[in-house]
A and B are shown apart, each in its own frame.
Chain A
Amino acid sequence: MTDYNFKEFMSRPDRLTPGHRMCAGCGATIALRNVLKALEPEDHAVICNATSCMEVSTFTYPYSSWTDSYIHNAFENAAATAGGVEAAYNALKKKGKIDDTFKFIAVGGDGGTYDIGFQSLSGAMERNHDMVYVCYDNEAYMNTGIQRSSATPMFADTTTTPAGKVSDGKPQNRKDITEVIAAHHVPYVAQTTFMGNFSDLHKKAQKAIYTKGACFLTILAPCPRGWRYEAENVMDICKAAADTCFWPMYEVEYGEKWTLNYKPKNKLPIEDFLKLQGRFKHLLKPGKEEQVAMLQAEVDRRWEALLKKCEL
């Protein structure tokens, strides 16, 4: 593994190539294109993709946007499928049938990761397959039309938790998948999003891909349709997610060593994140101050708990 060098990374050819059918301003493709930058050019990969926007839009028969080998199996089993591919690699290496270096990257949205694929993911992490599971987290089931998931934040307007006369959107708080996977005590778990020149994402992807054993990466990857923003605003939203501490950037090694990678100089109020997105529009109307305060309290509570884990 070479030391991280931004220019060198960006000069590497794309492994998720143009011509796919994802939306303009979609966080998922930005996430995956940059994760794959972390692969050493001479190494090969097998991408195991859960059913998702990413899958149906990048591998529509007879076209594939991936330069590496790629398998879509089903919605809930990207991790198990990757585990099987890795087992095959070990078997064929042992028998001397292959000598190239392959890396195994499972990819799922939050639906395929937090929810329907959760069991398969937990199993693969516990078995410690030498793989990386990348969750591109857009906080709802976007492929089927913006239904709530366990990654959806409280009060988000989705098609199964619509804001209405007697509803403020999703009634429950979101699951913290990164902490859940950290509790598997796997070698490396991290969460990130798009910030600055992407060095945080690049470094985490590199570490996840080149650390032996099961690694997990959660990337906050906004969805223009579901979050309701203009394509060009995606970076501003991600920065606001980090600056409000709604989406902390951190990593965990072996479930024990917690490191905070970004601490905003001025922690911004949650409204700064909410106001950039249509899915929270109903919250910013007069009379909803209590709900915003509840969201703020939850962000603060989780942030303080994280700082303690990071011994800050």
Chain B
Amino acid sequence: MAIRERLSGNEAVATAIRQINPDVMAAFPITPSTEIPQFVSSYVANGLITTEFVPVESEHSAMSATIGASAAGARAMTATSSAGLALMWEELHIASSDRLPVVLALVNRALSGPININADHSDGMGAKDCGWIQLYSEDNQEAYDNMCMAFRISEKVMLPVMVCQDGFITSHAVQNITLNEDQEVKDFVGTYEPEDYLLNAENPMAAGPYSVTQYYMEARRGVAQAMRDSKETIIAVSKEYGEKFGRTYGFFEEYCMDDAEYAIVIMGSAAGAAKDACDKLRAEGKKVGVLKLRVYRPFPAEEIAAALKNVKAIAAMDRAESFSGNSGPMSCELRAALFNAKLTPDVLSMVYGLGGRDITVEDMEKIYGDLMAGNFECKELPYRYVNVRE
């Protein structure tokens, strides 16, 4: 029986963690993800879970201990935001290279500097090339559902998984949510039985070798293949989840995309504003739609291109700046996907919402308006900033 509740995104993710009861969680507090380890600590303190919670002295140690625990044979995870993820950067590569199925609850927040505690995707985008699967969530429900699926995906493909939600907007806003029964989640996730692990007395293991030039490239090639192959697993697990719990996810959500000629491509919480604007314009007979990315790693390039093949103009919206001088990170990859599919729609790249800057339904309407009017003009940069003082 599904449970109707009202929870913040952090509570929702913590609830999934309680239901999963991972063996080890190591974490260090950072706004806005702090509540997640707090909730987990309270579950431990009250005997609701048997997780070994390791209150480390930094995020670098959080990921280090998580890697140690996972290599040892435990189901291990952590949570962080922003600078915390940046401090883990070295370790993110090691987790994927060691092919460890660890899970990280990322509550997206701007990177310093200047220091800012509010939502954007610069932390997640900064970690997009570390060999981690990245699932982005629009709201608390998706954050919860993604967390319920994360270990299944991770342990099947032996790559780490990051479950992302927007800081404050999702993590702290209380919304309605449908939760699964505890036992249903446990049954869905199953037990973790690693093939090789440090604590196997019968067959000791060595992890993290020094790899000379003869071997290093093969290790990276292996991660690349696992990332590519994970597409199948992500879809299979998401399909099974949908069959069990009634909420089905793909690589992305296509909102009014069937006959859409003008599309906004976006990730995370701001997709809601885009959908509202889309509804308004659809009521006026405009052929507009939203493609909301859920899976950013692996990047579902062919699938996105196929979904956009009949679209005349696209607004590619990044909640992160990558300082490439060309556009935000997602926009660049989207353009490459379209190019490979020999599609030539007009693409207007936009950077929005940095450091929690608001973006409204009216902003989205205006963006659709520009797409429909063929107004792709950019000034100093070859892409646009939304709601910025120039």
Chain A positions within 8 Å of B, measured between CB atoms, are: 44, 46, 48, 55-56, 59-62, 64, 66-74, 76-77, 80-85, 87-92, 94-95, 97-98, 100, 102, 119-120, 122-124, 126-127
Contact = CB atoms under 8 A, between A and B. Distances in A.
20 contacts: A66-B204, A70-B207, A71-B68, A71-B206, A80-B56, A83-B56, A83-B65, A84-B64, A85-B199, A87-B54, A87-B74, A88-B24, A88-B52, A88-B69, A92-B72, A98-B73, A119-B57, A120-B64, A123-B57, A127-B56
B94 interface: yes
B208 A72 contact: yes
Contact of B50 (A55, A61, A94, A123): A94
Given A71-B208, A91-B52, A119-B58, 20 more contacts: A46-B198, A66-B206, A69-B199, A69-B205, A70-B206, A82-B68, A83-B65, A83-B68, A84-B26, A84-B65, A84-B76, A87-B74, A88-B74, A91-B23, A91-B50, A102-B199, A120-B57, A120-B64, A123-B57, A127-B56
Contacts of B206: 59, 64, 66, 69-71
Contact of B69 (A62, A74, A85, A98): A85
Closest 9 CB pairs of A and B: A84-B68, A84-B65, A123-B57, A88-B72, A88-B74, A80-B61, A77-B64, A61-B209, A80-B64
Contacts of A124: 61
Nearest to A48: B68
Contact of B73 (A61, A88, A90): A88
Nearest to A45: B204
A61 B210 contact: yes
A88 B76 contact: yes
A16 to B, nearest CB: 12
Contacts of B76: 84, 88
B152 to A, nearest CB: 19
Contacts of A73: 64, 67-68, 91, 94, 208
Contacts of B72: 46, 84-85, 88-89, 92
Contacts of B23: 88, 91-92, 95
B94 A74 contact: yes
A88 B69 CA distance: 5
Contacts of A122: 57
B54 A83 contact: yes
A29 to B, nearest CB: 16
A71 B26 contact: no
What is the interface of chain B mostly: helix, strand, loop, or mixed? mixed
Interface in B29-88: 50-52, 54-58, 60-61, 64-74, 76
Contact of B61 (A48, A77, A85, A100): A77
Interface of B: 23-24, 26, 50-52, 54-58, 60-61, 64-74, 76, 90-91, 94, 198-201, 204-212, 215
A91 B51 contact: yes
A281 B346 CA distance: 72
A127 B199 contact: no
B61 A62 contact: no
A81 B65 contact: yes
Contacts of A127: 54-56
B204 to A, nearest CB: 4
A83 B62 CA distance: 10
Nearest to B68: A84
Contacts of B56: 80, 83, 123, 127
Contacts of A70: 198, 204-207
Nearest to B210: A56
Contacts of B207: 70-72
A90 B57 CA distance: 20
Given A70-B207, A74-B90, A74-B91, A88 B51 contact: no
B209 A72 contact: yes
Contact of A84 (B69, B201, B204, B208): B69
Given A59-B206, A73-B208, A92 B65 contact: no
